[in-house]
Amino acid sequence: MPDLSPHVAAVPPSGIRRLFEAALELEDVIFLAVGEPDVAVAPHIAEAAVAAWDADLTDYTANSGIPPLRNAFAHRFATAHGAEIDPARIWVTIGATQALHQALGLILGPGDEVLVPDPGYTTFSMSPRMLSAVPVPYALREEAAFLPEVDRLDGLVTPRTRAIIVNSPSNPLGTVLDDTRARELLAFAERHDLWVISDEVYSEFTWDRPHVSLTALDTLATGGRRVVGAFSLSKTYAMTGIRVGFLVAPPEWDLALRTAQEAMISCVDLPSQHAAIAALSGDQTHVDVAARHYRENLDAATALLDARGIRYRAPDGAFYLWIDVRHVSGGDVAEWALAFLREERVAVAPGSAFGASGEGWIRVCVAATRDDLLAGLERLPAP
C-alpha cells in the first residue's frame, strides 16, 4: 500500500481526544474534559433549522454564505465592539476550526512558521503541521499571569515567521487580554510584518472585564488588513454540533477565499445557516442565562478548590478552570489523567495536551451540571 504524505506523521495527536475516547469505553464517568455546553440550544434556533428543512432549503449557497447571515454577524459584532465590518469580509465556515485552518492555508507555505500560544488549543499546532508548516510555541508563563509577553516574542521571529495566533479569552487558561496588551501585540505584528490570527470564540463569556477584540481594533485602525478573526456560534449558543463559524478576513482575500472555500467545503449547509441567523438576530436571553450558569458553576467550583487547598488559575473568561496537579502528576500529567479516569471515573483534560507549558496542570470544563462538576472536583487528590 502506498505511504501517507510524510507531513501527516508530524501532526500531533489530540491529547484531549485520547482521554475522551478512553472515557467513552467506561461506565459512570463524569465528563469534564471536553468544552461542551450543558445547556440546550434555544427553541427559536432549533425551530429555524427545522423550518429550513421543511421548506426544502437544501441547495448550494455562495461559498461565503448567505447575505442575511453575514449581515446578522456584522450587526451583532458592531453592537458588541463598536466596529463596523463590511459583510463582504465575513465568510461563513464550518466552525472556528475550519476558519482557523482556512486562514492558515492562505498564509503559510511549506516550512513557514507561525507563533502559537503554549498552553493553547490543540488545533493551533495541528493545523500548521497539516499544511507542512511549523508551529513555534510562545510560552504563557505562570509568573507572567499566563499572558503573552511581548518583549519575549521578538526573539522567536525568524525570516520564515508569517503569523501569530492570539486567543482571548483563552482556551484552556481563561485569560483575557486588556486593551494595552492587545495594542502591544498589534504593534509587535506590525513591527515584524506578521499576520495576526485572532481566535475570539469565547468573546461572549468574560467575567468582570470586557472582551477586547483584536479584530475590532484592527478594523478601526486599518480597515482590517492585519488581523484575521476566527469566531464561532458553538459555545455562545450551545451549537457545537451544528458547526457554524466565521472568518473575518481582509477585503483583498476575496478571490483567494472563494477558491479556497470551493476546494475545501463549497459552503456551509443552508439549514445551519438559517439556525445561525436565528441565533444572532433573535432573543439573547438564553445567552445571558447560560453565562450566569457558567459563572455560578465557576464560583461554586473555586470555593470547593479553595476549601480543599488545591491551586488553580481564576479565569477571567471562557468556562474552564486551569488546575495545578503537580503535587500528584509525577511529571507526566497525561498518564496521570488516564489513571485518574480509570480509578475515579472522572475525565479531565491533561494540560500537556495544550503544549509543553501545560505539564502538571489539568483543564476542567465547568459548563456541566453543578452536581457533576462538584463531584468530579471532590475526587481530585488534595496536596
Task: Give pLDDT tens digits for 206-239.
Answer: 999 999 999 999 999 999 999 999 999 999 999 9
Check residue 207 and give its pLDDT: 97
Residues with pLDDT less than 70, the chain: none
Q: Which among 199, 123, 121, 110 has a CA at the least distance from the CA of 162? A: 110
Last residue of a domain, one of 246, 281, 316: 281
Q: Counting every residue, how long is the chain?
A: 383
Neighbour tally for 77: CB within 10 Å:
25
Tell me if 64 is assigned to some domain: yes
Q: Which CATH number covers residue 73? A: 3.40.640.10
Check residue 10 and give its pLDDT: 86
- Report the amino acid identity of residue 200: E
Q: Is the dihedral of CA 332, 142, 124, 63 positive or negative?
A: positive
Q: Which among 234, 267, 232 has a CA at the least distance from the CA of 247? A: 232
Distance CA 199, CA 235 (A): 13
Is residue 302 located within the same domain as residue 263? Answer: no
pTM of the model: 0.97
Distance CA 269, CA 81 (A): 28
Check residue 217 and give its pLDDT: 98
Check residue 6 and give its pLDDT: 87
| Cell numbers that stand for 76 in this block | 451583532
Q: How many independent structural domains does the chain possess?
A: 2
Check residue 19 and give its pLDDT: 86
Is residue 74 located within the same domain as residue 138? Answer: yes
Greatest extent of the chain over all pairs of C-alpha atoms, in Å: 59
Distance CA 58, CA 344 (A): 46
Check residue 12 and give its pLDDT: 82
Check residue 11 and give its pLDDT: 86
Check residue 258 and give its pLDDT: 97
What is the helix (H) or strand (E) element at residue 54, kind and residue range?
helix 43-54
Structural domain of residue 292, as residue ranges? Answer: 6-41+285-378
